[in-house]
Structure 1
Amino acid sequence: MLTATYILVSLSVEQASIRMSLLAFQKYMHVQLRHQSSLSLAQLQYAGDWLNRLYQGSYWRKVEMYLIPAIRQATPHADGLLDGLLNELNGLNHAALESINAVQRRAGASIDHSELQAGQLCAAIDGFCAALLQRLEKEERELFALARKVIVGEAWFAIAYQFLAHDARAQEARRDKAQVLPFVLPAPLPAAGGSVAAPADGAAPALPVPAQPLRAQA
Protein backbone atom coordinates (compact mmCIF):
# COMPACT_ATOMS: atom_id res chain seq x y z
CA MET A 1 0.00 0.00 0.00
CA LEU A 2 1.32 3.41 -0.97
CA THR A 3 0.14 4.99 2.27
CA ALA A 4 2.12 2.50 4.34
CA THR A 5 5.18 3.12 2.19
CA TYR A 6 4.81 6.89 2.61
CA ILE A 7 4.58 6.53 6.40
CA LEU A 8 7.58 4.24 6.72
CA VAL A 9 9.68 6.42 4.41
CA SER A 10 8.73 9.47 6.47
CA LEU A 11 9.77 7.65 9.63
CA SER A 12 13.06 6.61 8.04
CA VAL A 13 13.82 10.24 7.18
CA GLU A 14 13.15 11.23 10.78
CA GLN A 15 15.37 8.39 12.02
CA ALA A 16 18.17 9.49 9.68
CA SER A 17 17.99 13.06 11.01
CA ILE A 18 18.31 11.84 14.60
CA ARG A 19 21.18 9.53 13.66
CA MET A 20 23.05 12.44 12.03
CA SER A 21 22.56 14.60 15.13
CA LEU A 22 23.92 11.89 17.43
CA LEU A 23 26.96 11.29 15.24
CA ALA A 24 27.62 15.04 14.84
CA PHE A 25 27.50 15.56 18.61
CA GLN A 26 29.75 12.57 19.25
CA LYS A 27 32.32 13.71 16.67
CA TYR A 28 32.29 17.30 17.90
CA MET A 29 32.93 16.34 21.51
CA HIS A 30 35.76 13.97 20.55
CA VAL A 31 37.44 16.70 18.49
CA GLN A 32 37.13 19.24 21.29
CA LEU A 33 38.39 16.92 24.03
CA ARG A 34 41.03 15.04 22.06
CA HIS A 35 44.00 16.93 23.52
CA GLN A 36 42.67 17.44 27.05
CA SER A 37 43.16 15.35 30.15
CA SER A 38 41.04 17.26 32.69
CA LEU A 39 37.70 18.99 32.24
CA SER A 40 36.10 22.20 33.39
CA LEU A 41 32.70 22.27 35.08
CA ALA A 42 31.36 24.24 32.09
CA GLN A 43 32.36 21.44 29.71
CA LEU A 44 30.63 18.81 31.83
CA GLN A 45 27.48 20.91 32.11
CA TYR A 46 27.49 21.55 28.36
CA ALA A 47 27.81 17.85 27.58
CA GLY A 48 25.15 16.89 30.11
CA ASP A 49 22.74 19.48 28.72
CA TRP A 50 23.07 18.23 25.14
CA LEU A 51 22.86 14.59 26.14
CA ASN A 52 19.63 15.35 27.95
CA ARG A 53 18.22 17.30 24.99
CA LEU A 54 18.97 14.49 22.57
CA TYR A 55 17.50 11.93 24.96
CA GLN A 56 14.29 13.87 25.61
CA GLY A 57 13.91 14.52 21.88
CA SER A 58 13.55 10.80 21.27
CA TYR A 59 10.16 10.84 23.02
CA TRP A 60 8.71 13.34 20.54
CA ARG A 61 9.38 11.25 17.46
CA LYS A 62 6.56 10.05 15.22
CA VAL A 63 7.56 6.47 16.01
CA GLU A 64 6.78 7.02 19.70
CA MET A 65 3.75 9.27 19.25
CA TYR A 66 1.90 7.51 16.43
CA LEU A 67 3.38 4.23 15.17
CA ILE A 68 3.69 2.34 18.46
CA PRO A 69 0.14 3.27 19.59
CA ALA A 70 -1.17 2.21 16.16
CA ILE A 71 0.52 -1.19 16.47
CA ARG A 72 -1.03 -1.63 19.92
CA GLN A 73 -4.48 -0.86 18.52
CA ALA A 74 -4.07 -2.95 15.38
CA THR A 75 -4.58 -6.36 16.94
CA PRO A 76 -4.36 -7.92 20.39
CA HIS A 77 -2.26 -10.69 18.86
CA ALA A 78 0.59 -8.21 18.40
CA ASP A 79 0.77 -7.45 22.12
CA GLY A 80 3.20 -10.24 22.96
CA LEU A 81 5.51 -9.42 20.07
CA LEU A 82 5.30 -5.68 20.68
CA ASP A 83 5.81 -5.90 24.43
CA GLY A 84 8.92 -8.03 24.01
CA LEU A 85 10.35 -5.63 21.44
CA LEU A 86 9.49 -2.57 23.54
CA ASN A 87 11.24 -4.12 26.53
CA GLU A 88 14.40 -4.40 24.45
CA LEU A 89 14.04 -0.83 23.17
CA ASN A 90 13.43 0.47 26.68
CA GLY A 91 16.55 -1.35 27.83
CA LEU A 92 18.57 0.63 25.28
CA ASN A 93 16.92 3.84 26.47
CA HIS A 94 17.90 2.93 30.03
CA ALA A 95 21.51 2.42 28.95
CA ALA A 96 21.51 5.88 27.33
CA LEU A 97 20.01 7.41 30.47
CA GLU A 98 22.72 5.82 32.61
CA SER A 99 25.33 7.59 30.48
CA ILE A 100 23.59 10.93 31.14
CA ASN A 101 23.46 10.19 34.86
CA ALA A 102 27.18 9.37 34.85
CA VAL A 103 28.00 12.76 33.31
CA GLN A 104 25.72 14.59 35.75
CA ARG A 105 27.27 12.78 38.72
CA ARG A 106 30.73 13.80 37.56
CA ALA A 107 29.57 17.40 37.12
CA GLY A 108 28.35 17.39 40.73
CA ALA A 109 31.53 15.77 41.99
CA SER A 110 33.68 18.37 40.20
CA ILE A 111 32.80 20.83 42.95
CA ASP A 112 34.95 18.75 45.28
CA HIS A 113 37.43 17.27 42.77
CA SER A 114 39.32 19.64 40.50
CA GLU A 115 40.36 17.13 37.85
CA LEU A 116 38.11 14.79 35.92
CA GLN A 117 39.27 12.78 32.96
CA ALA A 118 38.20 13.78 29.47
CA GLY A 119 38.37 10.11 28.52
CA GLN A 120 35.59 9.33 31.00
CA LEU A 121 33.32 11.91 29.41
CA CYS A 122 34.06 10.62 25.91
CA ALA A 123 33.30 7.07 27.07
CA ALA A 124 29.95 8.19 28.50
CA ILE A 125 29.08 10.01 25.27
CA ASP A 126 30.07 6.96 23.22
CA GLY A 127 27.87 4.73 25.37
CA PHE A 128 24.93 7.12 25.04
CA CYS A 129 25.22 7.39 21.26
CA ALA A 130 25.77 3.65 20.81
CA ALA A 131 22.60 2.82 22.78
CA LEU A 132 20.37 5.25 20.87
CA LEU A 133 21.86 4.31 17.50
CA GLN A 134 21.20 0.66 18.29
CA ARG A 135 17.63 1.55 19.19
CA LEU A 136 17.12 3.35 15.88
CA GLU A 137 18.47 0.34 13.98
CA LYS A 138 16.27 -2.08 15.91
CA GLU A 139 13.19 0.05 15.28
CA GLU A 140 13.87 0.17 11.55
CA ARG A 141 14.60 -3.55 11.31
CA GLU A 142 11.97 -5.01 13.65
CA LEU A 143 9.37 -2.42 14.63
CA PHE A 144 8.71 -1.26 11.08
CA ALA A 145 8.40 -4.89 9.94
CA LEU A 146 5.90 -5.57 12.73
CA ALA A 147 3.91 -2.50 11.69
CA ARG A 148 3.65 -3.77 8.11
CA LYS A 149 2.44 -7.11 9.42
CA VAL A 150 -0.31 -5.99 11.80
CA ILE A 151 -1.52 -2.57 10.58
CA VAL A 152 -3.98 -2.77 7.70
CA GLY A 153 -6.34 -0.68 5.62
CA GLU A 154 -7.85 2.41 7.19
CA ALA A 155 -5.39 2.38 10.09
CA TRP A 156 -2.60 3.46 7.72
CA PHE A 157 -4.73 6.37 6.52
CA ALA A 158 -5.35 7.40 10.14
CA ILE A 159 -1.60 7.44 10.81
CA ALA A 160 -1.00 9.46 7.64
CA TYR A 161 -3.55 12.03 8.81
CA GLN A 162 -1.74 12.25 12.17
CA PHE A 163 1.54 12.80 10.34
CA LEU A 164 0.06 15.61 8.24
CA ALA A 165 -1.39 17.29 11.34
CA HIS A 166 1.94 16.88 13.14
CA ASP A 167 3.86 18.46 10.24
CA ALA A 168 1.36 21.33 10.04
CA ARG A 169 1.82 22.08 13.74
CA ALA A 170 5.60 21.95 13.34
CA GLN A 171 5.43 24.36 10.40
CA GLU A 172 3.27 26.75 12.41
CA ALA A 173 5.72 26.58 15.32
CA ARG A 174 8.58 27.46 12.97
CA ARG A 175 6.71 30.56 11.85
CA ASP A 176 6.14 31.62 15.45
CA LYS A 177 9.62 30.88 16.72
CA ALA A 178 12.85 29.74 15.09
CA GLN A 179 13.90 26.27 16.14
CA VAL A 180 17.34 24.75 15.79
CA LEU A 181 18.15 21.17 15.01
CA PRO A 182 18.87 18.84 17.96
CA PHE A 183 22.58 19.53 17.56
CA VAL A 184 24.09 22.60 15.90
CA LEU A 185 27.84 23.13 16.00
CA PRO A 186 28.60 25.70 18.71
CA ALA A 187 31.62 27.87 19.35
CA PRO A 188 34.70 25.97 20.61
CA LEU A 189 34.31 24.71 24.15
CA PRO A 190 36.42 26.46 26.79
CA ALA A 191 39.29 24.33 27.95
CA ALA A 192 39.70 23.44 31.61
CA GLY A 193 40.60 26.71 33.31
CA GLY A 194 38.13 28.80 31.31
CA SER A 195 40.09 29.78 28.18
CA VAL A 196 39.51 28.46 24.68
CA ALA A 197 42.22 25.97 23.87
CA ALA A 198 44.15 26.50 20.65
CA PRO A 199 44.60 23.32 18.60
CA ALA A 200 47.94 21.63 18.93
CA ASP A 201 50.15 21.20 15.89
CA GLY A 202 48.49 18.76 13.55
CA ALA A 203 45.28 18.74 15.60
CA ALA A 204 41.91 19.15 13.99
CA PRO A 205 40.64 22.72 14.32
CA ALA A 206 37.41 23.50 16.11
CA LEU A 207 34.39 22.89 13.95
CA PRO A 208 32.99 26.08 12.40
CA VAL A 209 29.92 27.86 13.65
CA PRO A 210 27.14 28.24 11.05
CA ALA A 211 26.50 31.82 10.01
CA GLN A 212 22.82 31.35 10.88
CA PRO A 213 21.03 28.67 12.96
CA LEU A 214 19.92 25.64 11.01
CA ARG A 215 16.17 25.31 10.89
CA ALA A 216 14.45 22.22 12.21
CA GLN A 217 13.01 19.78 9.74
CA ALA A 218 9.43 18.79 10.34
Structure 2
Amino acid sequence: MLTATYSLVAIVNEQNNLRRALHSLQQYIQNAWDGMLHHVDLDRIEHAFNSLTEFDSYCHSRKVEQHLIPAIRRATSEADTLLAELDAISATGLHLLRSVGDQLRHAIDLGETWLHEVSNSLVQYCRKLLKRLAKEEAELFPIAHRVLSVDEWFAIAEKFLSADGQTHGGRLSSQPPPVLAAMPEQRFAAH
Protein backbone atom coordinates (compact mmCIF):
# COMPACT_ATOMS: atom_id res chain seq x y z
CA MET A 1 0.00 0.00 0.00
CA LEU A 2 3.01 2.29 -0.27
CA THR A 3 1.78 3.44 -3.69
CA ALA A 4 -1.63 4.28 -2.21
CA THR A 5 0.09 6.28 0.50
CA TYR A 6 2.24 8.12 -2.06
CA SER A 7 -0.80 8.86 -4.22
CA LEU A 8 -2.85 10.14 -1.30
CA VAL A 9 0.05 12.31 -0.10
CA ALA A 10 0.42 13.74 -3.61
CA ILE A 11 -3.31 14.45 -3.78
CA VAL A 12 -3.40 16.05 -0.33
CA ASN A 13 -0.40 18.21 -1.25
CA GLU A 14 -2.19 19.31 -4.41
CA GLN A 15 -5.37 20.00 -2.42
CA ASN A 16 -3.44 22.09 0.12
CA ASN A 17 -1.79 24.13 -2.66
CA LEU A 18 -5.18 24.63 -4.26
CA ARG A 19 -6.77 25.71 -0.98
CA ARG A 20 -3.95 28.23 -0.28
CA ALA A 21 -4.26 29.67 -3.76
CA LEU A 22 -8.03 29.87 -3.44
CA HIS A 23 -7.74 31.71 -0.13
CA SER A 24 -5.34 34.16 -1.81
CA LEU A 25 -7.86 34.71 -4.58
CA GLN A 26 -10.64 35.24 -2.04
CA GLN A 27 -8.47 37.79 -0.26
CA TYR A 28 -7.77 39.52 -3.57
CA ILE A 29 -11.50 39.72 -4.32
CA GLN A 30 -12.25 41.06 -0.83
CA ASN A 31 -9.46 43.65 -1.06
CA ALA A 32 -10.57 44.66 -4.53
CA TRP A 33 -14.16 45.03 -3.31
CA ASP A 34 -13.08 47.04 -0.25
CA GLY A 35 -10.95 49.29 -2.45
CA MET A 36 -13.87 49.97 -4.77
CA LEU A 37 -16.34 51.28 -2.26
CA HIS A 38 -15.62 54.79 -3.52
CA HIS A 39 -14.19 54.05 -6.97
CA VAL A 40 -15.01 51.16 -9.31
CA ASP A 41 -11.83 49.67 -10.78
CA LEU A 42 -12.86 47.51 -13.71
CA ASP A 43 -9.25 46.36 -14.18
CA ARG A 44 -9.21 44.80 -10.70
CA ILE A 45 -12.49 43.06 -11.30
CA GLU A 46 -11.33 41.75 -14.66
CA HIS A 47 -8.05 40.59 -13.10
CA ALA A 48 -9.95 38.70 -10.37
CA PHE A 49 -12.24 37.16 -12.99
CA ASN A 50 -9.33 36.16 -15.24
CA SER A 51 -7.46 34.68 -12.26
CA LEU A 52 -10.50 32.63 -11.26
CA THR A 53 -11.03 31.49 -14.85
CA GLU A 54 -7.42 30.26 -15.03
CA PHE A 55 -7.84 28.72 -11.61
CA ASP A 56 -10.97 26.88 -12.75
CA SER A 57 -9.06 25.47 -15.74
CA TYR A 58 -6.29 24.30 -13.42
CA CYS A 59 -8.85 22.62 -11.15
CA HIS A 60 -10.00 20.42 -14.02
CA SER A 61 -6.43 19.27 -14.66
CA ARG A 62 -5.78 18.19 -11.06
CA LYS A 63 -4.65 14.66 -10.25
CA VAL A 64 -8.00 14.02 -8.57
CA GLU A 65 -9.95 14.81 -11.71
CA GLN A 66 -7.53 13.36 -14.26
CA HIS A 67 -6.61 10.10 -12.54
CA LEU A 68 -8.37 9.35 -9.25
CA ILE A 69 -11.98 9.98 -10.26
CA PRO A 70 -11.73 7.92 -13.48
CA ALA A 71 -10.17 5.05 -11.50
CA ILE A 72 -12.99 5.21 -8.95
CA ARG A 73 -15.60 5.26 -11.73
CA ARG A 74 -14.04 2.12 -13.21
CA ALA A 75 -13.76 0.37 -9.83
CA THR A 76 -17.22 0.92 -8.34
CA SER A 77 -20.62 2.48 -8.79
CA GLU A 78 -20.68 3.19 -5.04
CA ALA A 79 -19.42 6.72 -5.62
CA ASP A 80 -21.77 7.63 -8.48
CA THR A 81 -24.01 9.86 -6.35
CA LEU A 82 -21.03 11.63 -4.79
CA LEU A 83 -19.37 12.12 -8.18
CA ALA A 84 -22.63 13.57 -9.52
CA GLU A 85 -22.67 16.00 -6.56
CA LEU A 86 -19.06 17.01 -7.25
CA ASP A 87 -19.89 17.54 -10.94
CA ALA A 88 -22.91 19.66 -9.97
CA ILE A 89 -20.79 21.83 -7.67
CA SER A 90 -18.27 22.36 -10.47
CA ALA A 91 -21.04 23.12 -12.97
CA THR A 92 -22.53 25.72 -10.62
CA GLY A 93 -19.11 27.32 -10.20
CA LEU A 94 -18.59 27.43 -13.97
CA HIS A 95 -22.05 28.96 -14.40
CA LEU A 96 -21.14 31.68 -11.88
CA LEU A 97 -17.92 32.46 -13.78
CA ARG A 98 -19.76 32.62 -17.10
CA SER A 99 -22.31 34.97 -15.57
CA VAL A 100 -19.52 37.25 -14.36
CA GLY A 101 -17.92 37.13 -17.81
CA ASP A 102 -21.21 38.20 -19.40
CA GLN A 103 -21.58 41.03 -16.90
CA LEU A 104 -18.03 42.23 -17.52
CA ARG A 105 -18.62 42.28 -21.27
CA HIS A 106 -21.65 44.53 -20.66
CA ALA A 107 -20.22 46.52 -17.73
CA ILE A 108 -20.51 49.91 -19.39
CA ASP A 109 -24.17 49.32 -20.27
CA LEU A 110 -25.02 48.05 -16.76
CA GLY A 111 -23.53 50.98 -14.83
CA GLU A 112 -22.28 50.39 -11.30
CA THR A 113 -25.27 48.37 -10.08
CA TRP A 114 -23.67 45.16 -11.35
CA LEU A 115 -20.62 45.48 -9.08
CA HIS A 116 -22.21 43.88 -6.03
CA GLU A 117 -23.57 40.97 -8.07
CA VAL A 118 -20.18 40.36 -9.72
CA SER A 119 -18.38 40.41 -6.40
CA ASN A 120 -20.97 38.09 -4.88
CA SER A 121 -20.66 35.68 -7.82
CA LEU A 122 -16.87 35.55 -7.49
CA VAL A 123 -17.15 34.88 -3.75
CA GLN A 124 -19.80 32.20 -4.40
CA TYR A 125 -17.50 30.53 -6.92
CA CYS A 126 -14.77 30.34 -4.27
CA ARG A 127 -17.22 28.89 -1.75
CA LYS A 128 -18.39 26.26 -4.23
CA LEU A 129 -14.83 25.18 -4.91
CA LEU A 130 -14.04 24.99 -1.19
CA LYS A 131 -17.17 22.86 -0.74
CA ARG A 132 -16.00 20.54 -3.50
CA LEU A 133 -12.55 20.19 -1.94
CA ALA A 134 -14.09 19.40 1.44
CA LYS A 135 -16.38 16.72 -0.08
CA GLU A 136 -13.47 15.18 -1.95
CA GLU A 137 -11.42 14.95 1.22
CA ALA A 138 -14.23 13.79 3.53
CA GLU A 139 -16.05 11.40 1.20
CA LEU A 140 -14.22 10.66 -2.07
CA PHE A 141 -10.75 9.89 -0.71
CA PRO A 142 -11.99 7.32 1.83
CA ILE A 143 -13.96 5.57 -0.93
CA ALA A 144 -10.87 5.55 -3.15
CA HIS A 145 -8.73 4.16 -0.35
CA ARG A 146 -11.26 1.39 0.25
CA VAL A 147 -12.19 0.32 -3.31
CA LEU A 148 -9.04 0.69 -5.38
CA SER A 149 -6.74 -2.30 -5.63
CA VAL A 150 -2.98 -2.22 -5.12
CA ASP A 151 -2.54 -2.46 -8.91
CA GLU A 152 -4.89 0.49 -9.47
CA TRP A 153 -3.03 2.58 -6.89
CA PHE A 154 0.25 1.64 -8.54
CA ALA A 155 -1.07 2.78 -11.94
CA ILE A 156 -2.30 6.05 -10.41
CA ALA A 157 1.03 6.66 -8.67
CA GLU A 158 2.86 5.96 -11.93
CA LYS A 159 0.69 8.53 -13.74
CA PHE A 160 1.31 11.07 -10.96
CA LEU A 161 5.07 10.60 -11.19
CA SER A 162 4.96 10.85 -14.96
CA ALA A 163 2.83 13.99 -14.89
CA ASP A 164 5.00 15.59 -12.18
CA GLY A 165 8.13 14.78 -14.17
CA GLN A 166 6.71 16.38 -17.31
CA THR A 167 5.35 19.41 -15.46
CA HIS A 168 8.58 20.13 -13.64
CA GLY A 169 11.07 19.25 -16.36
CA GLY A 170 11.95 15.89 -14.87
CA ARG A 171 12.38 17.17 -11.32
CA LEU A 172 9.65 16.78 -8.76
CA SER A 173 8.45 19.83 -6.92
CA SER A 174 5.80 20.62 -4.37
CA GLN A 175 5.39 24.11 -5.79
CA PRO A 176 2.00 24.99 -7.22
CA PRO A 177 1.63 25.22 -10.99
CA PRO A 178 2.37 28.61 -12.61
CA VAL A 179 -1.28 29.74 -12.55
CA LEU A 180 -1.22 29.37 -8.78
CA ALA A 181 2.30 30.68 -8.23
CA ALA A 182 1.48 33.94 -10.03
CA MET A 183 -1.15 35.02 -7.56
CA PRO A 184 -2.22 38.65 -7.60
CA GLU A 185 -0.85 41.08 -5.04
CA GLN A 186 -3.00 41.03 -1.92
CA ARG A 187 -2.39 44.55 -0.66
CA PHE A 188 -4.10 47.46 -2.33
CA ALA A 189 -4.15 51.11 -1.55
CA ALA A 190 -7.62 52.51 -1.13
CA HIS A 191 -8.64 54.94 -3.83
CA shift at 1:145, angstroms? 0.9
1:182 aligns with 2:183: no
Taking only the aligned residue pairs, the percentage that are identical comes to 34
Q: Paired residue for 2:55?
A: 54
- Counterpart Cα distance in 2 of 1:92 and 1:186: 25
Structure 1 residue ranges (4+ consecutive) displaced by more than 4 angstroms after TM superposition: none
TM-score by length of 1: 0.76
- Counterpart Cα distance in 1 of 2:145 and 2:162: 22
Q: Paired residue for 1:99?
A: 96
Cα RMSD of the aligned pairs, angstroms, is: 2.3
Q: Paired residue for 1:199?
A: 190
Asked whether the 8 Å contact 1:59–1:65 carries over to 2, the reply is yes
TM-score by length of 2: 0.86
Q: Paired residue for 2:11?
A: 11
Larger RCO (alpha carbons 8 Å, 6+ apart): 2
Q: Paired residue for 2:174?
A: none
Moved more, 104-113 or 139-148: 104-113
Q: Paired residue for 1:73?
A: 74
Count of residue pairs the alignment pairs up: 185
- Counterpart Cα distance in 2 of 1:188 and 1:155: 41
Asked whether the 8 Å contact 2:82–2:140 carries over to 1, the reply is yes
Name the structure with the higher helix share. 2
- Counterpart Cα distance in 2 of 1:46 and 1:183: 15
Unaligned runs of 5+ in 1: 190-196, 201-218
Structure 1 residues 116-127: aligned runs within 5 Å: 116-127=113-124
Unaligned runs of 5+ in 2: 172-176
1:30 aligns with 2:30: yes
Asked whether the 8 Å contact 1:93–1:131 carries over to 2, the reply is yes
Evaluate the alpha carbon distance shift between residue 139 and residue 170 of structure 1 in structure 2; reply closer, same or farther with a 3 A threshold.
same
CA shift at 1:168, angstroms? 0.7
Amino acid at match of 1:14: E
CA shift at 1:47, angstroms? 2.3
- Counterpart Cα distance in 2 of 1:149 and 1:66: 16
CA shift at 1:26, angstroms? 0.7
Q: Secondary structure at the match of 1:199?
A: coil
